Amino acid sequence: MLTLDGSHGEGGGQVLRTALSLAVLLRRPVSITRIRERRPKPGLQPQHLTVVRALAAVSDARVQGDALDSMEISFEPRILRGGHYRFDVGAMTGSAGSVSLLFQALLLPLARAEAASRLTLVGGTHVLWSPTVDYVTGVFLPVLREIGVDAAVTLRRRGWYPAGGGEIEAVITPGRGLRALRWETPAGPPRLAGISTVSRLPVTIAERQRQQALARIGERCLQADIAVVGDDGALGPGTSLLLTASGPGRLAGFCALGRRGLRAEAVADAAVDPLLAYLDSGAAVDDHLADQLLPFLALAPQPSVLTCPSISEHLRTVAWVVERLLPTRVSFDEGPPARVTVIPDAGGPGVPTTLDRTAS
């Protein structure tokens, strides 16, 4: 059984999610030790434990160590089974843990299952340290469609920290294989867009976020189409702003969340600043998208190349996990912009598999 050090690199839940997701796809047993060892609350927290149990459910896995605060697990998947599933991140302790991270962990294997899947996921849809559902639908999934992943997410109810209770429905239709991605130098000027959202708060907050973002972007002689959304269906209050840059050979997203005491203008600045830095870098994708795409690109039949503003510790950590589960090499050039090259079947330390890499 392959054993991975869960404290490696970024040292958070990334090792756990990526390793178990690939393990289910490959039907390969793994054990993970020292899970989140350096975090203030080490071990499996509710959102991580939900990922473990969800991946076990779709693979009929034998699992040891799946308990709150556990620092070590063993995971032996036996099958890969599409179907209808419901998972609630807050079922154990009322957590507002991220449904986006849960969805991404399930998507990788279920996109290669024999049958389609419909997922209902309950928890936090707009929470810190994870992509918002707006980012998933507006950035992550559109790029995956470019490489052959057929999945759609519908936001049923927003869930903010600490109330949680958000809900999404995801439909995943398996395909025959994945295509490589070669996004190095974007062509032409970017199209800038966004969505400014408030739940259970005055819509004027979302308007102020929008106006500040437009003013900042306008200083660069750029324009953006930013929608304003007011929502009373969430269980608790919250605000967010997502800004995207799209065009031939590029897609990136930058999200900021409001909190008590933080002015709407500061929320806007927190999204605009990385957007402008990204545009200055000349990169094709944002740093977060780079690490989210990497496991999918490792399964394509041909090499992939993409550029991002920098090589994050998350990206290095995902590459480390991928190279231990697949015969794939990932190389980095610091740039600028940073360049990521993914070479499948490159004789890396991961063992060869019989996984069909045929492009659809």
Element (H, E) at 281: helix 264-281
Superfamily of domain 191-281: RNA 3'-terminal phosphate cyclase, insert domain (3.30.360.20)
Reported as a single tens digit per residue, the pLDDT across 100-134 is 999 999 999 999 999 999 999 999 999 999 999 99
Residues 248-271: tens digit of each pLDDT: 999 999 999 999 999 999 999 999
* CATH number, span 1-80: 3.30.110
- Structure confidence at residue 141 as a pLDDT band (50, 70, 90): very high
Same fold, 1-80 and 82-175: no
Residue 312, φ and ψ in degrees, nearest 5: -80, 160
Burial of residue 37 (CB within 10 Å: 0-12, 13-18, 19+) is middle
Half-sphere exposure of 300 (CA within 13 A, CB side): 23
Rounded to two decimals, the pTM is 0.95
Average pLDDT over the chain, rounded to whole? 94
Spans of all domains in the chain: 1-80, 82-175, 191-281, 290-360
Cis amide linkage into residue 352, ω under 30° from 0: no
Segment 236-245 shows an average pLDDT of: 98
Contact 51, 25 (CB under 8 A): no
What amino acid positions are annotated as catalytic residues?
Answer: 314
> What is the rounded end-to-end Cα distance, in angstroms, of the chain?
32
Tell me the C-alpha distance between 245 and 127, whole Å. Answer: 22
Distances in whole angstroms, Cα of residue 350 to Cα of each of 25, 177, 225, 228:
14, 20, 45, 46
User: Which residues does residue 169 pair with via DSSP β-bridges, in sequence order?
Assistant: 120, 154
What would the CATH number be for the domain defined by 82-175?
3.65.10.20
Question: What span, in angstroms and rounded, lies between the C-alpha atoms of 262 and 260?
Answer: 6
Amino acid identity of residue 183, one-letter, is W
**Residue 313 token pair:** 């510790």
